[in-house]
Each structure stands twice: as C-alpha cells, then as structure tokens.
Amino acid sequence: MLFQMSDSEKQNNDEITYPPFNGRIAANFVDGVAIFLLMLLFAVITDEAVPLITTSRFLKSDLVLGILAVTTPILYFAITESSKLQATLGKYFTGIKVVDNKSLQRITFTKALFRAVIKITSVYAFGAGIIFFLLFSGEKNRTIHDAMTGTLVIDANS
C-alpha cells in the first residue's frame, strides 16, 4: 500500500462508509462545472472574458485568466470543504464530505487550503489521471492529497 494508517486512525474509522469511485467522479464533474462557471463570472466581472484586438489587452487577459485558473479552484475547494457542509457542491450532491482522519470532524480552512493546493498542483502537473490512479492506492480510498493532509472523504451519513 502507498499510505498506511496508524492504529488510532483505524480504530476511529471502523464504522465509516467510504464513497464509491463513481461517486467521487460525479462529484468532480459537478465541481468542474462549478469552477468553470465561477471562473467565467470572475472573468466577466474583471472584463477579461473575451480578449480584444490589441496585443496588450490580449496579454493582460491571459495573465488574469491564468491567475483565475489557479486561484479559483484552490479557493473553491478550501472554502467549501472547510465550511459547515464539509463538502464542495459536487460532494454535497453526491452525499460525501471531507473530514479530519483522526477526529472525523470538519477540517480547518488552513488544512483545506493545503489539501486544495496539493490537489490542484497534482492535477496541473500530472493530469487528472494521477488523481484517479492514486484514489484506490491507499487504505480507505485515500488520494495523495488526503494522505498528505490527514483527511478522509466519507459518506455524509457516516
């Protein structure tokens, strides 16, 4: 196994139900749509949605959209997963949530931010395939960003 859980983590997680692979894929699809719509909204608000003819406008637009492409998903995941719902829109609609692997409680914004940075970095660096490859490589269906931040994705009714 790629990641091992401690004995105390195993004891805490005996009654936990973990979401199936297709639930996490559905959640990621919904989240992708939500992030796209947020980026579009931010781009329209900053008047950068469609670059105009001038080169300087085009370069400015690329910079703004590049920044949005990195910061929007990171903030989206960090804010929603540390909220009272403990879930992004996709996770909420598919009935799953993110918890601390020791206390099984809501994660802090700092932990959610760190988790989001690792997740987005791995997606941008390695493509989405690495996330799904690593999804089932550890105990309790933990991804690399779950293992590195001490979080679990569980069924919301657990």
Burial class (CB in 10 A: 0-12, 13-18, 19+), 72: buried
Assess contact for 87 and 98: CB atoms under 8 A.
yes
Residue 121 has a pLDDT of: 84
Q: Note the pTM of the prediction, 2 decimals.
A: 0.77
In the numeric block, which tokens belong to residue 134?
């690593």
The predicted-structure confidence for 4-47, as pLDDT tens digits, reads as follows: 445 444 445 557 888 887 888 899 899 999 999 998 887 777 66
Assess contact for 137 and 1: CB atoms under 8 A.
yes
Mapped onto helix, strand or coil, the DSSP state of residue 158 is coil
Dist CA 146 CA 29 (whole Å): 19
- State which amino acid sits at residue 119: K
- State which amino acid sits at residue 34: A
Domain-by-domain residue ranges, the chain?
Answer: 18-155
